[in-house]
Structure 1
Amino acid sequence: MEGKILTIFNELPKIEKGQKIVLGIDGLSRSGKTTLAKKIEHHLQEKNISVCIFHIDDYIVERKRRYNTNYEEWYEYYHLQWDAELLKHNLFKELKVSKELHLQNYDDNSDTQKLQVVTIPDTCFIIIEGVFLQRREWRRFYDYMIYLDCPKIKRFKRESDETQKNIEKFEKRYWRAEDYYMETVSPKEQADLVIQN
């Protein structure tokens, strides 16, 4: 992975004082997005560059809005898991123009969204990591996009033993949504850099 990190840093735009750069780390479930984001964050901090990381899964909606909605499960996951338009306006459009973001952060224990206020320094490398990041609502807001490519079976084996027992949920919900994303958005082709992981 260290060699890949160096490759990434040779590719990334250089940040200037007073500039914000938005990096997307896209990939399907369990492809290694969070791990890569942390490694990039560490590398940037060693160079005294301010970093803000946003995990797109922190901004999903309450369960009643994404389960048992009379839509197919894959549709719920892709189209209803996040309020894509709200995030476009409150997160993506504000990244480079606002010093302070007001976001609805999801709390899994209470199944509620709570207001989160995030301060962004004037000079900052902003990393957004998560699945489906290149959907049409959000794609134009990134300066650079990395796509982590990983085979489905390898990703599935990274799930806990308990989670793997419910393969039907993967087949109906997650994998069908992922197939839809791959077919309609072509994230590997759209990305600036594809990393095999």
Structure 2
Amino acid sequence: MTMILGSPLLTRFLGREDQLIILYGPAATGKTTLCFEAAISKVKEKKKVLFIDTEQGFSVERIKQMAPFWTEEMFQHIIYLDPVNFYKQNQYINRLPAILDSSRISLVIVDSLSYFYRAEWKKDPDLMNTILKKQLRTFHELSRLHRIPFIITNQVYGALRNPYKDFEMIGARVVKEQADAIIELKKVGEKNYASLIHPETKKCEIKIEKNGIFVP
């Protein structure tokens, strides 16, 4: 079986890599680690990765820990953007069509989509939902047009109205309309789990280790 984006988990859950993949869950459940696995896999092939980092979570040390073979020259294959607010994030996303047309990008990562959205939503929910929907539609259309994967991480909030769930992803309804695959990551006690909830359902235990995420 061909490894999908350098990830045993994504290989188990997904049939192909060229799609819009949403990862959501609480902090420290493996979202950014999965993003790094995917980025490392593309850079190993000397392909370019676009990484939009809203949470300042891009860690050179973590990448080198996961990929001991990593050299400073490899960072030349990563186009790194760090928006300072939601509107700058939206500007970068609006520039994606031109960036993808002019650069041979093989993977786009946004970590995370909802970091700035969360605060701005309180000021104008309707406007923020409209912009979020447009951003997701852009990801979906560009993934299909260029046949490349988009990995988007998303934050969560407590599911106060649902006694069967501990949390729900931010903008769930809008996200579900555009995503090709949605993966939930969570920790229960001392164990970590991943669940594919769209387009079908699968679940497995995962282990987050210094060199990546593994499926026992």
- TM category (shorter chain) comes to 0.3 to 0.5
Which of the two has greater strand per residue? 2
Q: Which has the higher contact order (CA 8 A, sep 6+)?
A: 1
TM-score (norm 1): 0.48
TM-score (norm 2): 0.44
